[in-house]
Amino acid sequence: MEKVSIKLAGAVALALCCVATLSAEVRLPKMLSDHAVLQREAPIHIWGWAEPGEKLTAHFHDQTVSTEATKFGEWSLWLMPEHAGGPYALTVDGSSKVTVEDLLVGDVWFASGQSNMEMPLRGFPNSAVIKNSAEEIAHADLPQVRLLLVGQKSSDVPLNDISGSWTQCNPTTAAEFSAVAYFFGREIQQKEHVPVGLIDATWGGTPVDSWISLHSLGADASLMPAFANRAEFAQDQARINQIIAEEKREDAEAIAAHRTPAKHPWHPRQESWTPAGLFNGMVAPATAYTIKGAIWYQGETDSSTVRSPMYHRLFPALISDWRAQWKQGNFPFLFVQIS
């Protein structure tokens, strides 16, 4: 019994040691990965996590900046503005060292919205296609353009990191990336002759209030109908499983009778229609990253009789909200209006 206790105590001690070692590792967010583009001519924000109180030093190009992690293990520092250029490496030293390489300095654009912006260069399977898609993809080897595809994620609270990391722009990565963002970035790179970083944070068939922070939605009484719309949507979803099952039964019955199945209403994923849900999961993690501006293509979901009267208030609220969240002033916000 005593030997068992000694072995158990040893195992616990070893496990605690491993946990301590893991928690002490210096980490960067996935947005600060190999192949990233950092915004030129503006203060560059670098942040991450380490052991509480740990002293850290960042080295980038000709700059060296030090900071200290908070009691929560969070750290943050700012680099002086840089001219367009690269590739460079970023190293952060603490009790451990983390290095990211092949970083360029140029213009960073945040692309967001619903399916119009989400549609990849290859097009949607069995649906919308991009003109000359195959040819465009074949010529998408652009070393000065970098792509970051944000995974679709809804959250009740603002997240501090994303899934996905930066990639070089080539036929493989461009094929799965927003076509609108790709053409936008390619044109800027060709005209400005600077590196361009594109962040694709999109989700098809989503309403504008899903992309606005809860703070902004709750601070303006005129935006309260967004929550009433959510309540109505939630009520409609109460029988969604039975509705889908019935639609499948009807389809099977039609096929068995050699008839064309009736067209059923589209059913969005419930979490993507949560007010502030997509802001929390896909926008909030990026607001710490210095950008040039945003491009937006959305509005069709808000064109229904119930939602359209609110769009003229919600969309300007989104623009103001994002500019406030990024704390960069009135950065360019370019959009296509389809509501």
Read off the pLDDT of residues 266-316 as tens digits, 9 standing for 90 and up: 778 889 999 999 999 999 999 999 999 999 999 999 988 888 889 999 999
CA–CA gap between residue 235 and residue 230 (Å, rounded): 9
Residue 237, C-beta contacts closer than 8 angstroms, at least 6 positions apart? 270
pLDDT top residue among 255 and 19: 255
Residue 22 neighbours by CB under 8 Å, 6+ apart: none
The interaxial angle of helices 308-326 and 225-236, nearest 10 deg, is 110
Q: Tell me: pLDDT of 25 over 60.
A: yes
* Residue-wise pLDDT tens digits, 143-155: 999 999 999 999 9
Mean pLDDT for all residues in the chain: 91
DSSP for residue 60: E
What single-letter DSSP state applies at residue 279?
I
Q: Where are the alpha helices (DSSP H) in 86-175?
A: 115-118, 133-138, 171-175
Please write the tens of the pLDDT for every residue from 180-197.
999 999 999 999 999 999
CA angle 188, 109, 107 (to 5 degrees): 60
pLDDT at 1: 47
Question: Which is more confident, 62 or 127?
Answer: 62
21 has pLDDT over 70: no
Among 49, 117, 38, CA closest to 278: 117
The residue with greater pLDDT, 285 or 225, is: 285
Residue, of 121 and 265, whose pLDDT is higher: 121
Whether the pLDDT of residue 338 is over 90: the answer is no
Share of the chain above pLDDT 70, in %: 92
40: nearest Cα among 324, 291, 293, 330: 291
Closest CA to 53 of 74, 37, 29: 74
Q: Report the distance separating Cα 303 and Cα 2, nearest Å.
A: 72
